[in-house]
Structure 1
Amino acid sequence: MSEITEKYRKLPLYFVAITVLVKLVFLLTHHIQEDAFITWRVAQNLLDYGVIGFNGATKISASTTHLYVFVSYFFNLIFGKEHFIYPLLIFNSILFTFGSYFLSKLILKNPIHQAIFIFLFGILPPSIKISILGMEYGILFFLEMAFLYFGLKEKKIWAQILFPILILFTRIDTVIFLGIVGLIDIVWNRKINWFFVLGGVLGIISVLSFNWFYFGELVNNTIVAKSATYAKNMSLSLQWKYFLLNYGNYWGMLKLPGDFNPFTILVLVFELVCFIYLVSKSKVRNYFIWIIFLFGWCKQLVFISQRSYFDWYYWVPQILLFSVVLVFVLEQKTQKILWISLLLIFYILPMMSFQTIHSIATGNGEWNYRRSIGLFLKNYEKDKNQYILLEPAGYIPYFSGLKAIDEVGLVDKEIQKEIKKDKPNYWRNTAEHRKPKYLLAPTDLFNGKDSVFYKNNYKFLKEFRIKDHLQSDNKILEKIYRLKPSGTDYNLYEKK
């Protein structure tokens, strides 16, 4: 161990703490992802009914992640329903940052470089979102990086078996990650790691068995519902339009206004150049560079090919692909300070500034606005066995306490039958057959082809408008709210 390595060996751990503290400031924005409340509702349903579900005693895999449901369950149990959210978000932030600590150990030798990497990596927009938005990706990133560190670098047999099981139990689509790691491991070492294979097989068996014996299905309901609901037969021109609208998610970490974003292309090219430069150098760590870079590309290409436009699918690939840029900059032999300064001034700080504005605006649109709809219904409707038909099924069902039928069918399987039977009219048919007490729609139901049905069976109760939530005593906050208004206008209807 060199003198520098020994002297500064604890520095990365100090920067783990510093990075977590910096990111916790973003908790003040109340920017929490809608889908997190679905998982938390499932966890509370398990607490109240002893059933993994969403609406009472009905079993349904409404959450994409099983492991995070159980983690959320324990946080609810320990801290209570009213106080578990922020302890859980802090826990997610700590786990993610330790994941970046393991990653730094895999691809950098100098502890000073590792410390700087942890901080710069941790304040990238996807890293902030993984940490504070309440999704399962903080836990997932920790598990994946811990697997690479303990299982492949330290060659711990227990890690090669245990971590694949936990990873797959967190998200079933992590077969992409484990598959890429397995292929590169075989090519690199020219032999099969049978303990790793055992871990992967046990992981697949455990998650599929759990799905089958508990829910009576092999694949999570969330995957089935999205496949049935979202359009698949789009024209090539429409596919290209959606690609242009979303491709900022894939490599650039920043979606700018407009269809064409040259900034993303610049980042993509620079990532490729940095990757080629790093792997051209003969070093053992190239093994892990290849793993994270090929996984990042493969994960993105798979989800792009399936026309998956939700930005959280791309958070982990985004930061892993960009990690090679950080390594490239940190390992420059000359003018390193200049390189880091340029990176900070022209990329990191603008990106963090954008994320700050985005989180403040989105937090207002979700926590202040959409949550207020749920709180209104909580006070208005005392019978929590009543149903509401709406989309999405996060904030409003969570804070209202009402049972929910969501348009996609994530939390209610019955609507999937209506979608398959008559997709153009499934919303109206669901209202007619299921007779939910409340309808929450982004359109005026009393003006349209089914207006007669809605007028005969429902009465208009209240309108909710995002424009009414763009004011603040703080003039800076108000400017941000109006610069980037976040939210959907709704009309609420009650059954006659």
Structure 2
Amino acid sequence: MAENKNNRLPIYAVIFTVLLKLLFLLTHYIQEDAFITWRVAQNLLDYGVIGFNGETKISASTTHLYVFVSYLFNLVLGKEYFIEPLLIFNSILFTIGTLFLAHLTLKNPWHKAIFIVLIGILPPAVKISILGMEYGILFFLEMSLLYYGFSKGRKWALILLPILIMFTRIDTIIFLGIVFLVDIFWNRKIRWSYIWGGILGLLSVLSFNWLYFGELVNNTIVAKKLLYEHDFTFAQNLDYFLVSFGNFWGMLKLPGNFNPVTVIVLIFELLCFIYLVRQREKRNYFLWMIFIFGWVKQIIFISQKSLFDWYYWVPQLLLFVPVLIFVLEQKEKRNLWLSLLVVFYILPMTVFQTIHSIATGNGEWNYRRKIGLFLNSYEKDKNQWILLEPAGYVPYFSGLKTIDEVGLVDKQIQTEVKKDKAHYWLNTVKNRKPKYLLSYNNLFTGKDAAYYQAHYKLLKEFRIKDNLKSDNRILEKIYHLKPSGTDYNLYVKID
């Protein structure tokens, strides 16, 4: 009886962790790019087309599977009520994924339960669960593949899950490839079901892209590469790596080129991993998979100068897994080790993420969303165009047709980038003549000021300093401690 009760502990831990993380919904911290995916889903609902602006097809979202999931939530719950249920759904799936990971790496039910709670409240886990991105579904699918496919040997999982994983994000070929290589070296045999799953997954997503969008690779990847591509010297590349290393390799972003917390944690992760794999345990098979993937994914993306921090959430968590296992399985002074970990790392990280979520949620939901709501009220003709960056909150809440600076949601701007990268913004304004411009800069100063003054007028200024107020004194201090947002100038075309 007691044993059965203990076996339920991981399930209880899943429920407790999900409920605990739902408190972060109160911060309204939702990632900008989530609104791009949700607008694509609503475009599919309204026009029957996977796009962003009416009937024009474009892979504006990085994820196809999450677009379809978001579409279903919109269809069933309606546009006004789908967000919170979808965030809860993401959080549940992610936490079930941590349950599978606990089953793969731990034996003791108590250890599994503590593992699920502690890993679930780390900053990347909170962001995966609550920020509205596709990584909750992705983590669930990846851990399901390891658990059902490689631990339980279910052939259906080896075939079906790679297809779903690649439809979630095409860059998951890195994860699938690392798992394949470790499995080959470990078992000295080929799992043909997995081979077929990988082939079908790759063929499915590439065929879908080509037949529907007329492209092999998602437009988002092409657009970012086109705009952000630079030729760096070796010294510049090295400096860039050091800056990125400090910000993205660990879980805590700090200003400057050197992040001592990241370095200390990284060394401890390596030492814990080496300690664990020296023991002859079956779980080493999975530890090698997740640890090598964590390193390879981060190295590849940092080398490609990928600045967006969500690329690093899953690797950050997986690299930290050996630390939790090491601490939980200490036979002597386990409580001391666990207390030190919780007091000096887990709790500070959770506090940091709480402050970050409150401040960023204020800057995104209470500030940037208001710009979209203002435009939605001001402009009744939703066929009018706006040129801006980024393409999340403002287009979503304004309902206007959108040209974004990067070209994620509108391909025509990429043509301007190819023709004249230095002047593509001005050329787009001249050629497309959008009714609204939303800019970080004062367009009425500088060498092109005369053109903007002749054709546009300043409609409204949006200043982040005006948004750092609250009746709650603690919230107001947090807003000032970490102001989040950007000053904008909104211009409207002169008729």
Please report the TM-score for the alignment, with normalisation by the length of structure 2: 0.99
Q: Is the 8 A contact 1:5 1:110 kept in 2?
A: no
In the other structure, the counterpart of 2:66 is 68
Q: Name the amino acid aligned to 2:23.
A: V
In the other structure, the counterpart of 2:44 is 46
Within 2, Cα distance between the matches of 1:375 and 1:178?
42
Within 1, Cα distance between the matches of 2:419 and 2:302?
28
Mapping of 1:425-444 within 5 angstroms?
Answer: 425-444=423-442
Within 1, Cα distance between the matches of 2:305 and 2:256?
19
Q: Is the 8 A contact 1:93 1:131 kept in 2?
A: yes
What is the deviation of 1:256? 1.6
In the other structure, the counterpart of 1:390 is 388
What is the deviation of 1:401? 0.3
What is the deviation of 1:261? 1.1
Q: Does 1:78 align with 2:76?
A: yes
Per-residue Cα deviation, 1:32-87 (whole angstroms, up to 9, x for no partner): 00000000000000000000000000000000000000000000011100010000
Per-residue Cα deviation, 1:330-352 (whole angstroms, up to 9, x for no partner): 01011111111000000000000
Specify which of 10, 13, 16 is matched with residue 15 of structure 1: 13
Q: Does 1:242 align with 2:240?
A: yes
Mapping of 1:142-221 within 5 angstroms?
Answer: 142-221=140-219
Structure 1 residue matching 2:386: 3-state secondary structure:
strand
Q: Is the 8 A contact 1:30 1:367 kept in 2?
A: yes
Within 1, Cα distance between the matches of 2:377 and 2:210?
38
What is the deviation of 1:6? 4.2
Specify which of 324, 327, 342 is matched with residue 326 of structure 1: 324
Specify which of 444, 447, 461 is matched with residue 445 of structure 2: 447
Within 2, Cα distance between the matches of 1:103 and 1:119?
12
Structure 1 residue matching 2:458: 3-state secondary structure:
strand
Per-residue Cα deviation, 1:431-458 (whole angstroms, up to 9, x for no partner): 0000100000000001011111111111
In the other structure, the counterpart of 1:378 is 376
In the other structure, the counterpart of 2:137 is 139
Structure 2 residue matching 1:8: 3-state secondary structure:
helix
What is the deviation of 1:258? 2.4
Higher mean C-alpha displacement, 5-14 vs 282-291? 5-14
Structure 2 residue matching 1:462: 3-state secondary structure:
strand
**How high is the sequence identity, in percent, across the aligned residues?**
72
Within 2, Cα distance between the matches of 1:416 and 1:396?
21
Per-residue Cα deviation, 1:308-336 (whole angstroms, up to 9, x for no partner): 11100000000000011000000101111
Within 2, Cα distance between the matches of 1:250 and 1:428?
33
RMSD: 1.0
In the other structure, the counterpart of 2:363 is 365
- Structure 1 residues 166 and 25, CA, compared in 2 at 3 Å: closer, same or farther? same
Specify which of 117, 120, 144 is matched with residue 118 of structure 2: 120
Per-residue Cα deviation, 1:453-488 (whole angstroms, up to 9, x for no partner): 111111111110000000100000000000100001
What is the deviation of 1:247? 2.0
What is the deviation of 1:412? 0.2
In the other structure, the counterpart of 2:457 is 459
Per-residue Cα deviation, 1:373-432 (whole angstroms, up to 9, x for no partner): 000000000000000000000000000000100000000000000001000000000000
Specify which of 109, 112, 133 is matched with residue 111 of structure 1: 109
What is the deviation of 1:242? 3.4
In the other structure, the counterpart of 2:351 is 353
Q: Is the 8 A contact 1:278 1:328 kept in 2?
A: yes
Structure 1 residue matching 2:366: 3-state secondary structure:
helix
What is the deviation of 1:133? 0.2
Q: Is the 8 A contact 1:246 1:255 kept in 2?
A: no
Within 1, Cα distance between the matches of 2:359 and 2:401?
28
Within 2, Cα distance between the matches of 1:9 and 1:24?
25
Q: Is the 8 A contact 1:361 1:486 kept in 2?
A: yes
Mapping of 1:254-293 within 5 angstroms?
Answer: 254-293=252-291
Within 2, Cα distance between the matches of 1:29 and 1:241?
35
Mapping of 1:284-303 within 5 angstroms?
Answer: 284-303=282-301
In the other structure, the counterpart of 1:343 is 341
Per-residue Cα deviation, 1:147-180 (whole angstroms, up to 9, x for no partner): 0000000000100100000000000000000000
Within 1, Cα distance between the matches of 2:269 and 2:243?
21
Structure 2 residue matching 1:281: 3-state secondary structure:
coil
Identify unmatched segments of 5+ residues in structure 1: none
What is the deviation of 1:7? 4.4
- Structure 1 residues 445 and 385, CA, compared in 2 at 3 Å: closer, same or farther? same
Specify which of 250, 253, 265 is matched with residue 252 of structure 1: 250
Q: Name the amino acid aligned to 2:79.
A: K
Q: Name the amino acid aligned to 1:83.
A: Y
Within 1, Cα distance between the matches of 2:365 and 2:232?
34
Within 2, Cα distance between the matches of 1:474 and 1:194?
60
